[in-house]
Amino acid sequence: MGFAKVVGLFALLSSTHAAMLQRTDAPCDFSDVNVDDEVFSRLVAKLPERIEYGPHGYRTLLPGLDVGGQTFEGLRNLRLLGSPIAYCSNGTRMVQADFLSDFDTHFWAPWKTCSGDEGRVSMRCSLTRFTFLFRVLPATPEGVKLEFDRAIPVSALGIRLFVEGSASGVRATLEVLSALLPAFMQELWSGQYSQGIKEAFQTIEN
């Protein structure tokens, strides 16, 4: 597994995160909406502990290198930061809330080569802060109902890539790259996190 395949693993993890939502001052009625810490605690508790997303089974990333679907783990490891904020966006009732997650939240995908080597590549972050945006749906007998809209990255500290089952030279290369390219690593992490958390919320909304 040479340098070209290391670059391929970076390509596997690459994706673009959503742009900032435009906010307006259109009037909205929040008289029947009471969003507190308990509402978000119940919402996070419904999330699966892990979720698999992306193509199922192995697919060829580079000649001689196949990768499997991605897994997002530690989904319930979210802590609400501060108080939720209610606002209007083009007449739609929205709620904004900031969340933190730590090193237990990570992504990984299996890999294998035509020579028989196999392992997995994973990405971890010491501390992540994201702003989650929710649409406020009509109230139910159980109370306020929120529908996940998107996740907006705020900050990410200590992002690292790890490759299991590879030669020591490949592992060392990844460690150096993840340390020397913090902006690129943050882009990778933000894209994966935004996609993974959206997939997770969709599992509890459907």
pLDDT score, position 91: 87
- Give per-residue pLDDT as tens, 17-58: 333 333 445 578 887 777 777 788 888 889 999 999 877 788
The DSSP-derived string for 7-66 is HHHHHHH--PPPPPPP--------TT----HHHHHHHHHTS-SEEEESSSS-EEEETTEE
pLDDT score, position 11: 52
- Give per-residue pLDDT as tens, 151-171: 999 998 888 888 888 656 666
Which stretches of 46-181 are DSSP H helices? 168-180
pLDDT score, position 108: 92
- Give per-residue pLDDT as tens, 103-112: 788 999 888 8
Q: Is the pTM of this model over 0.85?
A: no
Name the pLDDT band for 140 (thresholds 50, 70, 90). Answer: confident
